[in-house]
Amino acid sequence: MTHLLRYLVPTACFAAAFIAPRTTLAQYTPDDPVLYDTIMRMDSIFFAAYNTCNVHLDEYASMYTDDLEFYHDKGGVMTAKKDVVASTKKFVCGKVTRELVPGSVEVYPIANYGAVEIGFHKFHNNTQPPDTPSHPGRFVIIWRHTDKGWKIARVISLH
C-alpha cells in the first residue's frame, strides 16, 4: 500500500493544482512601465479607430501589419489583412463598440520584436438597448515595433 500512496499523492497534488480555483492572483506590476504606457496608448488609439471605423476605417487598417494573423474562437482564423478589414467594415462599423475592462491589461516585452498585451474587454452591440449586459472576453495582441511605429501583428480574441 505504501508504494501505491507514493504514486497517488503526487498525482493528486498535481491534479489539484490544475483543478482547484485560484482564489488570489498576484497584483500585476509592469516590468517596463514606459512600454506599458506606450501599449496602453496604442490600444486606445487603435480601438478609438475601431469604435468609429465607419469614419476611421483607413486609420484602423493602418495599424495592422501586412502579415496579420487574427484568431477568433467563434469565427476562426483570418490571415489576410484585407479580409479582417472587410469583415470589420461589414460586421462592426456603426454596429459594435469595444470597452476595455479597467485594470485588466498586462504588457510584456518581446525581445527584438515588440510586446504582448493581454487583457479583458467587452463588446457592445449598438443595436441593442444600452443596458444590455456584455460579458468580458480575453484577448491577446502581439505588437510589432517597426520603423513606422507600433503595429498589430497577431490577435487572439476569446469570448
- What single string gives the DSSP state of each residue in 61-108? HHTEEEEEEEEETTTEEE--HHHHHHHHHHHTTTTEEEEE-TT--EEE
Q: Which of 4-13, 19-28, 146-155 has the highest mean pLDDT?
A: 146-155
- Asked if 130 contacts 112 with a C-beta cutoff of 8 angstroms, the reply is no
Name the CATH topology of 31-157. Answer: Nuclear Transport Factor 2; Chain: A, (3.10.450)
Domain boundaries, the chain: 31-157
Residue 48 has pLDDT above 70, yes or no: yes
Tens of pLDDT, residues 77-119? 999 999 999 999 999 999 999 999 999 999 999 999 999 999 9
This prediction's pTM:
0.82
